[in-house]
Amino acid sequence: MKKGIIVLSAITAIYTTSFATTSLEDRLNAMEKKILLLEKKLSDANQKLNDKLTKENQTLSKKLTKANKKLNKKINKVKAHDAKDNIKWNVDFRTAMDSIHYKHADGTKSSNPDLLTNRLHLGMAFAPSENVLFKGKLSYNKAYGDSANHSQSNTNPGYANFDWVTNENATDNTVKVKEAYWLYKNDTLFDNEVPWTISLGRRPSTDGLGINQREGMKDNSPLSHTINVEFDGLSSKFSLDNLTGVDGMWWKLCTGRGLTNAKQRFQSDGSSYSSDDTQTHDINMYGFIFVPWDNGQYSIHTNWARAENLIGFSQSDINTYTSAVQTYNATPNATNYNDMNYKTPDFENFGDMDLFTAMFKADGLGDGINDFLDDTTLFISWAQSKTRPKGSMLGSSSSQTGHSTWIGLNFPCILTEDGRIGIEWNKGSKYWRSVTYGEDTMAGSKIAARGTAWEIYYDKPITKSLKFNARYTKIKYDYTGSQAFFGDDGTPYDINSATAIAMSAVKEASDLRVSVSYRF
């Protein structure tokens, strides 16, 4: 009986356990299906949410992009307006001390060991459109303080205020216009890819290629070996490299007027500004600059010009002037040349002149030989002048040809990190005549020397805007007249001749300049 009960209990337990196991599996399977279904619903919901957010973000992004474009357009209009309505200024202010010494043909000496000057160039630029540009430069140049008998004005008599050199001479404390011109530019000419420009006004005609190197500035035009003088006129440049396939080829037409013959206003007969037959004619100059090749490292530059109706003084006026100066110097308490009652020298027309220059320039020597040669600049320039007398010119009734050679080298100073050294040499012949009255050298234009000139200079940045410069110039003249005009005053007498001795002409000149410049 008991055995039956036990067996029955075992069978019941086994059956119950089997039933319970089967029910749990079903329930687990059912639960798994529900979880999968929930996961799918959640995934679908997330996808819908992501799609919605993506669409909203895209819409928002488009709105922001559109709003940003509108804002940028407004900002660009403001910038353009400000650019058009404001002049951009730059400053070049130099304080210098020059120690100047002269030896004269008669054995006498003269000097000024500590000439202190301030020179200010105030540049301006204005671009009302992409194709039109205005540029100008105001200048102030004077020695410290006043000068003895107000002689610094050098105008009674004197020629410091002569229009060709009015900003290169230390005069009074007035501010004068050095440059003022507009420029139009375009990338095509008659549907051809020939970029060109045209410009008119008070030209940037000093510190051209060659002389710009020692001045540490971008070159102006024309080439400074023959022309370095303030000028009013027109220029038009045409870039020809696209048309010809020759690297860097361009041509520039230059023309202008160096002196205008016109009466003053308010003439008694009403003929204001008409030509005055009692005075010299208009001085006109025209020519071209041609660069046949420029690959960025090596370049060739040429310049031809003709100047008409060039002025100077007759020998009779020179004699009168010399006599008056001697009388003035010998007269105690003389206060004015006019007190001496003499005839002031008058300019006369002596003829025309042709000028030609050819220069080779290398911005870096060799190709990657070393850093020193890569950063070295060399130029070699040869120039010629040829007179076309109207009666006589430079003291000769025949056409005379002069020539000059000029070599310059500029390289890093190995003793300093950012200093540079320049060395220049030039030599001019007996009848050499350049129009370089605007050269910034207190002892006179070294380029105009009828003789030999040496120069060495050192540049060193002090800060981002301050620069130190030391420069020594030495000129030995072979003939007189290097600093004169084109008449009998420009006659080349041998520097050791009796005439040169009687004139007490300068035989040697030197100028040691130390300066600090502020530029921004």
* Structure confidence by residue, pLDDT tens digits, 386-434: 999 999 999 999 999 999 999 999 999 998 889 999 999 999 999 999 9
Confidence (pLDDT) at 8 = 46
Instruction: List CB contacts of 445: < 8 A, sequence separation 6 or more.
Output: 228, 434, 436, 437, 439, 482, 483
Confidence (pLDDT) at 7 = 46
Boundary of a domain, candidates 47, 64, 86? 86
Distance in angstroms (rounded) separating the CA atoms of residues 9 and 387: 146
Confidence (pLDDT) at 85 = 62
Judged by DSSP in three states, 338 sits in helix
Same domain flag for 162 and 79: no
Mean pLDDT for 257-271 is 92
**Residue 420 falls within a domain, yes or no?**
yes
What DSSP character marks residue 390? B
Residue with tokens 């530029």: 519
Asked if residues 480 and 448 have their Cβ atoms less than 8 Å apart, the reply is no
Asked if residues 121 and 89 have their Cβ atoms less than 8 Å apart, the reply is no
Same domain flag for 37 and 127: no
38, burial (CB in 10 Å: exposed 0-12, middle 13-18, buried 19+): exposed
**Residue 156 falls within a domain, yes or no?**
yes
Same domain flag for 95 and 72: no
Count of domains forming the chain: 2
**Residue 282 falls within a domain, yes or no?**
no
Q: Specify the range with the lowest mean pLDDT, choosing from 80-94, 230-244, 489-503, 504-518.
A: 80-94
**Residue 277 falls within a domain, yes or no?**
no
Same domain flag for 405 and 395: yes
Same domain flag for 82 and 94: no
Boundary of a domain, candidates 51, 70, 86? 86
Same domain flag for 38 and 119: no
The domain that contains 244 carries what CATH number? 2.40.160.10
Greater confidence (324 vs 103) lies with: 103
**Average pLDDT of the chain?**
87
Q: Specify the range with the lowest mean pLDDT, choosing from 79-88, 200-209, 353-362.
A: 79-88
Residue with tokens 């050819």: 358
Mean pLDDT for 359-382 is 95
What are 172-189's pLDDT values in tens digits?
A: 888 999 999 999 999 999
pLDDT at 335 over 90: no
What are 7-53's pLDDT values in tens digits?
A: 445 445 544 544 444 577 777 787 877 788 887 888 887 888 888 77
Percent of the chain's residues with pLDDT above 90? 64
Confidence (pLDDT) at 11 = 47
pLDDT at 54 over 70: yes
Domain span at 40: 1-86
Confidence (pLDDT) at 223 = 96
Residue 157 pLDDT level (bands cut at 50, 70, 90): low
Judged by DSSP in three states, 52 sits in helix
Distance in angstroms (rounded) separating the CA atoms of residues 468 and 230: 26
Same domain flag for 125 and 185: yes
User: Which backbone phi and psi does 293 adopt, to 5 degrees?
Assistant: -165, 135
Q: Specify the range with the lowest mean pLDDT, choosing from 36-40, 244-248, 434-438, 474-478.
A: 36-40
Mean pLDDT for 278-302 is 95
**Residue 278 falls within a domain, yes or no?**
no
pLDDT at 88 over 80: yes
User: Which backbone phi and psi does 232 adopt, to 5 degrees?
Assistant: -115, 130
Same domain flag for 142 and 59: no
Confidence (pLDDT) at 199 = 97
Boundary of a domain, candidates 63, 86, 109? 86
Confidence (pLDDT) at 29 = 80
Mean pLDDT for 341-358 is 85
Residue 92 pLDDT level (bands cut at 50, 70, 90): very high
**Residue 142 falls within a domain, yes or no?**
yes
Q: Specify the range with the lowest mean pLDDT, choosing from 24-28, 124-128, 134-138, 282-286.
A: 24-28
Same domain flag for 69 and 181: no
Distance in angstroms (rounded) separating the CA atoms of residues 329 and 206: 35
**Residue 509 falls within a domain, yes or no?**
yes
pLDDT at 114 over 70: yes
Same domain flag for 319 and 379: yes
**Residue 333 falls within a domain, yes or no?**
yes
Same domain flag for 165 and 144: yes
Same domain flag for 351 and 483: yes
